[in-house]
């Protein structure tokens, strides 16, 4: 995994070098934004249920706060790795900038296997980790959120622990909280919904009818499953969907209600439970005959090996970093229209921002208010990226980077260097 993390970081840094060609940039500032601003590594003890004490390693990596407080998720996973955290923190900075919300980028995590831990152990781990990183987080400084294998309950423990030490309740220290503790309506579905909003914009731009369009989705978690349901609502046909163990395929469109029931009941996708469905592997899914392909699971799945066989007309990146730079070039040559991750999956951070704003102002917005604001921001951001795509004749990813990295560089230049 450490090697994979190093590769992902190299990819993230290479993307910055590529975009620098289009921007009037000071080499020193470029070096600064290719590195992280602040990195905290902590080793901390946790009392386990059997009476033993285990020491865990965790990180909070802060990439950039030139445009506003650091913002980014906390991940609990056995593969949590420093270099991968650095890359993910960097991507958060560009994502906040592309959609023009006043946040920077950060990421954090603890190397652990939450699937093998009891609820009590997870709570003790979370509370101690929060205490360890409390010197660098805060509602005006750095605001964590859920990521892989962390959820609203974990956010509630973080909020509570931080608040205990402050002596008063501080809901704005994390987003993705339960609704009862100041979470925002619409946060749970924001990323999947944002994937569909940006896909609709892409289809409109390409004159591709969404009615009946064939969609293949890799991943059936928060992003994949919610995107699938919104795709159905707008008239598209979800012909394939998968989880880590494999997927289901029906060229005429899957019965999504049966798919979701099966996933809920058995925690896997079984062809016998979904009428007309046949099994498909994760590798096959990416190469299916379809109009829209949505990788919504993990990084680095579209590579130079399979990119030549991708048949979709539009690739919408629900996951972070699903396409390698080599694959990007191949897709561009083939004329595949890519909606890049920092735009396609930005719905989550946008509604996280809404949650933070509501917490600071002690307001509760309605579902309609959240939905309208989200749609406006994503549609405007899509139009801004397309304008650069047309003007500079670059790929959509490069256009999004020109917009996002450009905004961050501008902030650095305006602020200047102290002293
Ligand atoms: P999740 O844990 O809810 O779901 C992940 C899904 O991917 C699961 O269905 C899992 O079975 C599947 N999966 C795991 N390993 C796989 C593999 N090797 N091959 C195929 N499928 C595999 O996670 P999520 O929140 O849906 O996040 C998915 C992606 O979207 C991640 O890259 C995440 O960083 C990105 N993302 C999520 C959000 C958000 O708000 N949840 C926001 C922005 C980006």
Residue 235: which CATH number?
Answer: 3.40.50.720
CATH of the domain at 57: 3.40.50.10860
For residues 166 and 194, membership in a common domain is answered with no
Q: What is the pLDDT of residue 167?
A: 98
Evaluate: CB of 244 within 6 angstroms of ligand 1.
yes
Per-residue DSSP letter, 138: B
pLDDT at 184 over 70: yes
Rounded to the nearest angstrom, the distance between the alpha carbon of 195 and the centre of ligand 1 is 13
Q: What is the pLDDT of residue 148?
A: 87
Q: Region 180-203: what's the mean pLDDT?
A: 97
Choose among 243, 235, 344, 237: nearest CA to 290. Answer: 237
Q: How far is CA 88 from CA 69, 94, 170, 413, in A?
A: 16, 10, 26, 24
For residues 218 and 269, membership in a common domain is answered with yes
Rounded to the nearest angstrom, the distance between the alpha carbon of 310 and the centre of ligand 1 is 20
Q: What is the pLDDT of residue 214?
A: 98
At 333, give phi and psi (nearest 5°). Answer: -65, -35
Return the ∠ at Cα 314 (arms to 309 and 316), rounded to 5°. Answer: 105
pLDDT at 201 over 90: yes
pLDDT at 2 over 80: no
Rounded to the nearest angstrom, the distance between the alpha carbon of 297 and the centre of ligand 1 is 4
Q: Region 308-320: what's the mean pLDDT?
A: 97
Q: What is the pLDDT of residues 360-379, one digit of tens each?
A: 999 999 999 999 999 999 99
For residues 111 and 217, membership in a common domain is answered with no
Number of domains the chain contains? 2
For residues 195 and 339, membership in a common domain is answered with yes
In a domain, 351, yes or no: no
For residues 157 and 95, membership in a common domain is answered with yes
For residues 197 and 163, membership in a common domain is answered with no
Q: What is the pLDDT of residue 1?
A: 61
pLDDT bin (cut points 50, 70, 90) of residue 150 is very high
Q: Region 24-45: what's the mean pLDDT?
A: 96
Sheet strands side by side (includes 70-77): 38-47, 53-64, 105-111, 70-77, 142-146
Q: What is the mean pLDDT of the chain?
A: 96
Q: What is the pLDDT of residues 288-307, one digit of tens each?
A: 999 999 999 988 899 999 99
In a domain, 43, yes or no: yes
Q: Which atom of ligand 1 is nearest to the CA of 95?
A: 43
Evaluate: CB of 256 within 6 angstroms of ligand 1.
no
Supply the pTM of this predicted model: 0.96
For residues 159 and 194, membership in a common domain is answered with no
For residues 196 and 163, membership in a common domain is answered with no
Residues noted as catalytic: 107
Mutate to test the pocket of ligand 1, among 221, 240, 262, 300 (most ligand atoms within 8 A of CB): 221
Q: What is the pLDDT of residue 11?
A: 87
In a domain, 402, yes or no: no
Evaluate: CB of 138 within 6 angstroms of ligand 1.
no
Q: What is the largest CA-CA distance in the chain?
A: 67
Total Cβ atoms within 10 A of residue 100: 15
Final residue in a domain of this structure, among 326, 344, 362: 344
Q: What is the pLDDT of residues 218-250, one digit of tens each?
A: 999 999 999 999 999 999 999 999 999 999 999
Q: Can you give the residue range of the structural domain that contains 67? A: 2-9+36-170
pLDDT bin (cut points 50, 70, 90) of residue 18 is very high
In a domain, 178, yes or no: no
For residues 130 and 217, membership in a common domain is answered with no
Q: What is the pLDDT of residue 352?
A: 98
Evaluate: CB of 218 within 6 angstroms of ligand 1.
yes
Q: What is the pLDDT of residues 93-117, one digit of tens each?
A: 999 999 999 999 999 999 999 999 9
For residues 243 and 305, membership in a common domain is answered with yes
In a domain, 232, yes or no: yes
Q: What is the pLDDT of residues 54-76, one digit of tens each?
A: 999 999 999 999 999 999 999 99
Q: Which residues of 278-293 are buried (b: 16+ CB within 10 A; e: fewer)?
A: eebebebbbbbebbbb
In a domain, 359, yes or no: no
In a domain, 386, yes or no: no
Evaluate: CB of 274 within 6 angstroms of ligand 1.
no
Final residue in a domain of this structure, among 140, 170, 200: 170
Report the distance separating Cα 385 and Cα 130, nearest Å: 37
For residues 199 and 305, membership in a common domain is answered with yes
Rounded to the nearest angstrom, the distance between the alpha carbon of 1 and the centre of ligand 1 is 17
Rounded to the nearest angstrom, the distance between the alpha carbon of 298 and the centre of ligand 1 is 6
Nearest CA to ligand 1 atom 18: 244
In a domain, 164, yes or no: yes
Evaluate: CB of 64 within 6 angstroms of ligand 1.
no
Choose among 381, 405, 402: nearest CA to 99. Answer: 381
Final residue in a domain of this structure, among 313, 344, 375: 344
pLDDT bin (cut points 50, 70, 90) of residue 4 is confident
Q: Which atom of ligand 1 is nearest to the CA of 299?
A: 32
For residues 296 and 217, membership in a common domain is answered with yes
């Amino acid at each position: 995994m450490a090697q994979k993390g190093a590769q992902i970081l190299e990819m993230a840094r290479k993307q910055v070098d590529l975009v620098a060609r289009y921007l009037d940039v000071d080499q020193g500032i470029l070096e600064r934004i290719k590195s992280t601003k602040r990195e905290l590594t902590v080793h901390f003890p946790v009392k386990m249920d059997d009476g033993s004490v285990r020491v865990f390693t965790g990180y909070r990596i802060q990439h950039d706060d030139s445009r506003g407080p650091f913002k980014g998720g906390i991940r609990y996973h056995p593969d949590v790795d420093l270099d991968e955290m650095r890359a993910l923190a960097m991507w958060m900075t560009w994502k906040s900038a592309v959609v023009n919300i006043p946040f920077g980028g950060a990421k954090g995590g603890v190397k652990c296997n939450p699937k093998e831990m009891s609820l009590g152990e997870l709570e003790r781990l979370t509370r101690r980790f929060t205490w360890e990183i409390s010197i660098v987080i805060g509602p005006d400084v750095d605001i964590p959120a859920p990521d892989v294998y962390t959820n609203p309950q974990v956010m509630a423990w973080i909020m509570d622990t931080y608040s205990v030490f402050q002596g008063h309740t501080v809901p704005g220290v994390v987003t993705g909280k339960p609704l009862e503790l100041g979470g925002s309506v619409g946060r749970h579905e924001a990323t999947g919904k944002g994937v569909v909003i940006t896909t609709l914009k892409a289809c409109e731009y390409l004159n591709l009818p969404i009615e009946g369009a064939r969609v293949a989705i890799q991943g059936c978690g928060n992003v994949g499953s919610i995107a699938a349901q919104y795709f159905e609502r707008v008239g598209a046909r979800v012909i394939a969907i998968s989880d880590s163990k494999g997927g289901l395929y029906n060229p005429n469109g899957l019965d999504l209600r049966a798919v979701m029931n099966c996933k809920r009941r058995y925690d896997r996708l079984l062809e016998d439970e979904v009428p007309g469905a046949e099994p498909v592997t994760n590798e096959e899914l990416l190469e299916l005959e379809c109009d829209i392909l949505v990788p919504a699971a993990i990084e680095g799945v579209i590579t130079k090996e399979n990119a030549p066989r991708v048949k979709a007309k539009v690739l919408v990146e629900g996951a972070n970093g699903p396409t390698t730079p080599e694959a990007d070039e191949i897709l561009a040559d083939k004329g595949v229209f890519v909606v890049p991750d920092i735009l396609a999956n930005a719905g989550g951070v946008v509604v996280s921002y809404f949650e933070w704003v509501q917490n600071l102002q002690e307001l509760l917005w309605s579902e309609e208010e959240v939905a309208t604001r989200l749609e406006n921001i994503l549609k405007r951001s899509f139009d801004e990226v397309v304008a650069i795509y047309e003007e500079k004749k670059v790929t959509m990813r490069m256009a999004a980077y020109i917009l996002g990295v450009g905004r961050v560089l501008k902030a650095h230049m305006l602020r200047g260097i102290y002293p």
